[in-house]
Chains A and B, each alone.
Chain A
Amino acid sequence: MPQVTYLEALRAGLWEEMERDERVFILGEDIGRYGGAFKVTEGFFERFGASRVIDTPIAEAAIVGAAAGAAHMGLRPVAEMQFIDFISCAYDMLTNYVATARYRAGLATPMVVRGPCGGYVRGGPFHSQNVEAAFFHTPGLKIVYPATARDAKGLIKSAIRDEDPVLYLEHKWLYRRIKEDLPETELLTPIGEARLAREGRDLSIVTYGATVWKALDAAEQLRKEDNLSVEVLDLRTLVPMDDAAIMRTVRKTNKVLIVHEDTRTGGLAGEIAARINEQAFEWLDGPIMRVTAHDVPLPYAPTLEDFVLPQTEDVVKAARWLAKY
């Protein structure tokens, strides 16, 4: 089994789907001859040609709107946001047009909008954002956020095959940082299923995206230094959320820490905590606690960014506090 990076796994999944289904096409800024800002689509233009690999003007609302129109007509567009920060320029198109299409008009809109998210890379306020909370609130959009190379591939393939519009959030800090052995056989990650990333007994960490790796590092440190057995749940899909998997881990360890890279207020952790409160209140032996970014725009300087974002050490400290509760 060959070792592939997160980015290579994503590229392979996209490539396989374009080979498999001629309805699949990609559009975005600099994705053609240049191969994309992060080279996700390198080689696609040469293989699939200009009609299926479309370089667009800098116009995110047009990219998303055109993808929606093509999807109505039976094609399977995959739109790239060069950085996911720029998806806010298409917020209206996604939330008002795309998300409501099936409900208000019975329109199938099978499309994927994908793009690099997240910080820890010194990208500053406009190349580091996490945007899930802005779309999580709108019924009609699915959201996936892979943390592993396996899921980077498995989820892009499932997203393309899904009948609903899917936001595929990929973390640029993970692009070349993690490598995995992947089978050469078909790999599909079901949308809507969380993954138990590490088993444990004493405390659960519910997380997704890059902080899955922070949580795993923390869990290992807590095992060595505190003899704590920490379970880590990687949500993988944010909408629809796998409530059953969350409640399973809560019932097992009775203590839960929610970790995400996005800012705190109005972030997903609040919603996850509310669901646990409603569905598993009597199983809790301590308060549901959050480790998240601070509520500031993400600053550029390494000292500032590291301070604002949740770090492994933050997860360790919070987990220790909760374990003693």
Chain B
Amino acid sequence: MKSSNFTAATIRTSVLAIGLALGFSNGVHAQAKPPIKIAAIVPLSGAGAFDGQLGLEGMQAMAEIINAKGGILGGRKIELITYDDKGLPEEGVSATKRAIEQDKVDAVVGGWFSAVALVMKEATRDTMLNFMTSAQHPDVTNKGHKYMFRVNATSTMMSDKYSKFICEKIKPKSVAFITVNDDYGRLEVENYTRLLSACGIAVKGNEFYNRNDTDFTTVLTKLRSLQPDAIYVSAINTAQGATIYRQIKQTGFKGTTIASAGNMNPKLIELSGSSLENVYSVSLFAPDLKNPTADQWQAQYQKMFKNQPAFIGSLGAQSVELIAAAMDKAGDAHDYNKVSTVLKGQKWKTLLGEMSFDDKGQALQNLYLIQVRKGKIVKVD
């Protein structure tokens, strides 16, 4: 009697274990023309949630445009499958593996944060077409693989262009920095200290702030007491950036505010109120780029979503645009050797202008000088 109950219990446990292991599988749908599945691995919760949302919306708008034109490869539509990576490497890896193994995607777009990008590339190494969007860590391309591409410009590329402009046009006599205490911020301080001193601007000091800080009055008070001509603000996070720009004005600072390259977006302007008026920056995207794809994308975006189209969305959009175009030209969605060769083999006309890739998969993009005028981002010549 007892042993049969015992056996029953054990069998139940084993079945449970195996059942959990085999898990849930997606049904296979029979379709006339199978869609091209692109995994969109974005932060949808946690600290990077808003940026992830903007990036995803950018991708979705571009996918709509391509599908409205009939898709690629003889009528195959682009289908975006979304995964939340929470901005954490561990989640990024498991999402990537699920996308590749379970959902059998044809390409992966992700890597909005550097730490996540660095593990994701290992999960796609030499097996899957992988576009990294905003991550700026050099190892993403230096230690990348043959199917890996990164669309954002590196901070070194941006500082080379921007420092020239600061030296020649803005011409402050002295500058002080407020930067975030991580690789990105440290690189910024290093680059700009070198480049700006070289043209005779006195660097009066630098203060680091932390990723989780919400109040900067103490730091800004300190910087203001150094009496610099200009304060250079390096902030990737929109909420922090807006707080800093406002609080600069609140400390009574009367000099020039310089916004770091690659971080201007409509939400930042909305949150900063008048404190960003007339402030300059550098970006890969501006609303008045006046090329047909950019205009089309912005129109589509505004039809579909409440948010304003922003730089980070444009990176997602460009990734989708390039993947689709390259697959179409190569004639194959799965032969990644062909697709990669095509991607690296020519100049592309995209919504961000004409660009190309180097042999490490790093995008060589246009950098536009921009200024905030009457609350709108405007391209400066």
Partners in one complex: no
Residues of A in contact with B (beta carbons under 8 Å apart): none
